[in-house]
Structure 1
Amino acid sequence: MENKINIMIVDDHAVVRLGLASLLEKNDAYNVCCDAETSAETFNKIATSAPDLILLDYKLPDGDGVTMCYQIKKKYPAIKIIIVSAFCDDYIIKEALQAGADGYLMKTIDRKMILSSIERVLSGEKSFDPSLIHNLVNPSQDKELHTELTLQEIEIISRIAQGFTNKEIGKEMFIAEKTVRNYISRIFEKIGVNNRTEAALYWIDRNK
């Protein structure tokens, strides 16, 4: 067990917890160390189970995932958190990012994509449900943004918001990884941000 990633599942529906646990336990790299139904139970079990990553439901009987995320990150900053939600409101996603969430997935997401998102988050990237980001990201809605960023830069920042790595962006756009890094540096300078999380927040905010 010592080489496995400990994952905690927080959801007030037993069926969801069982489904996620079944999926994760098929992967030899992961160990479902515990689960919880409420915010209070979550904090009690974090202290004893030491999860590396938490799959956290947005809506809990005694609180919400964004507030929980903020509280967990404040006390246990090393724990990765992916919020799993039935809500796709852009302001919730923005609040989740500000609270320190490492990812945001819809409960309808494909099982393979859940595993892919977990891998991205564990590698230090942000990961968001692609269908959710496509709903939020629509360059045609923001004419001012077109005057600031080239079409190529818009494609790149939209993929940053989806949690793509530089390598994945390069593969998707058929350009070298070094070229992607150069584009990202220019994007950061143009929009006045210092990192990928700030860029994702900027993009989501501008495309409400």
Structure 2
Amino acid sequence: MSKEITNKIKVLIVDDHSVVRKGLKLFLAANDRLEVCAEAATLKEAVSMSAQWKPDVVLLDYKLPDGDGIIGCINIKTQSPKTKVIMLTAYTDDGVVVEAIRAGVDAYLLKDIESNKLIETIISVYEGENVIDTSATEDIFNHLRIDTKKNRGDHNLSNQETKILQMIALGMINKEIALEIGVSENTVRNYISRMFKKINVSNRTEAASYWLRNKFE
């Protein structure tokens, strides 16, 4: 059995509503891979708890009494770069999604997510994946429409690479991208590898941030 399976994934829950915190703790604690190490209701508490407990994953709400999750993510990541941050929120505003990606969140999820999907995402993020809830990007979809001729010149990307970059920004996984453009998952991986080198990024979150910066600035 691998080390990842035998060791619990320590999770810090940050939300100003006690009912939400208790509900999250209840079903997360029922999973044998997860351990809720602490709870926080404010950004100040979140940063303090992160320093004290050194969680593997932080579930971070966007709206908190003493600030927002964007600031919280930056502070937590600055203090503990290895900690994964999942923003769990009700906000789908395009500006919030963009700023969260820029701040370095490892996942952006909406609070109506199914409990089993949340658990799967926590484990995936802990293991190095990046996830953006597709429904959280619906409000910015029109801003991400591709003008292939324009973007090919701006980013030195082929039409196919530009399309794939957009789909990454929309939270699509390799299997979904492969089905959308009619190629194999292995071909998608090859496209992504070349594209990452061209735009000088190392993961999907950075790629999404790169795309959104170029579309919104």
TM-score (norm 2): 0.79
Counterparts of 1:172 and 1:62, CA distance in 2: 42
Q: Which stretch of the first structure deviates more once superposed, 124-133 or 157-166?
A: 157-166
From 21, 24, 28, give the equivalent of 1:24.
28
Residue 94 of structure 1 is matched in structure 2 by: 98
Deviation at 1:79, TM superposition (A): 0.6
Residue 202 of structure 1 is matched in structure 2 by: 210
User: In structure 2, the residue corresponding to 1:82 is in which secondary structure?
Assistant: strand
Counterparts of 1:92 and 1:31, CA distance in 2: 28
Counterparts of 2:47 and 2:129, CA distance in 1: 25
Counterparts of 1:84 and 1:166, CA distance in 2: 23
From 85, 105, 113, give the equivalent of 1:109.
113
Deviation at 1:152, TM superposition (A): 5.1
Deviation at 1:180, TM superposition (A): 1.3
Residue 73 of structure 1 is matched in structure 2 by: 77
- Indicate if the aligned counterparts of 2:8 and 2:33 stay in contact, CA closer than 8 A: yes
Residue 178 of structure 1 is matched in structure 2 by: 186
Equivalenced residue count is: 207
Letter aligned with residue 190 of structure 2: N
Residue 3 of structure 2 is matched in structure 1 by: none
Letter aligned with residue 204 of structure 1: L
Letter aligned with residue 194 of structure 1: V
Query: C-alpha deviations, 1:49-69, integer Å up to 9, x for none?
Result: 221100001111111111011
Deviation at 1:183, TM superposition (A): 1.6
| Aligned 1:147-166 pairs, distance under 5 A | 148=152, 153=161, 156-163=164-171, 166=174
User: In structure 2, the residue corresponding to 1:98 is in which secondary structure?
Assistant: helix
Counterparts of 2:185 and 2:146, CA distance in 1: 27
Letter aligned with residue 192 of structure 2: I
- Indicate if the aligned counterparts of 2:93 and 2:139 stay in contact, CA closer than 8 A: no
Query: C-alpha deviations, 1:91-149, integer Å up to 9, x for none?
Result: 22222122221111112222232123212211212111121124423488343568636
Shift of the 43–187 alpha-carbon distance from structure 1 to 2, 3 Å rule, reads: closer
Shift of the 121–145 alpha-carbon distance from structure 1 to 2, 3 Å rule, reads: farther
Q: Which stretch of the first structure deviates more once superposed, 89-98 or 174-183?
A: 174-183
- Indicate if the aligned counterparts of 1:84 and 1:106 stay in contact, CA closer than 8 A: yes
5+ residue gaps, structure 2, are 1-5
- Indicate if the aligned counterparts of 1:161 and 1:199 stay in contact, CA closer than 8 A: yes
5+ residue gaps, structure 1, are none
Shift of the 137–108 alpha-carbon distance from structure 1 to 2, 3 Å rule, reads: same
Residue 58 of structure 1 is matched in structure 2 by: 62
Deviation at 1:161, TM superposition (A): 2.6
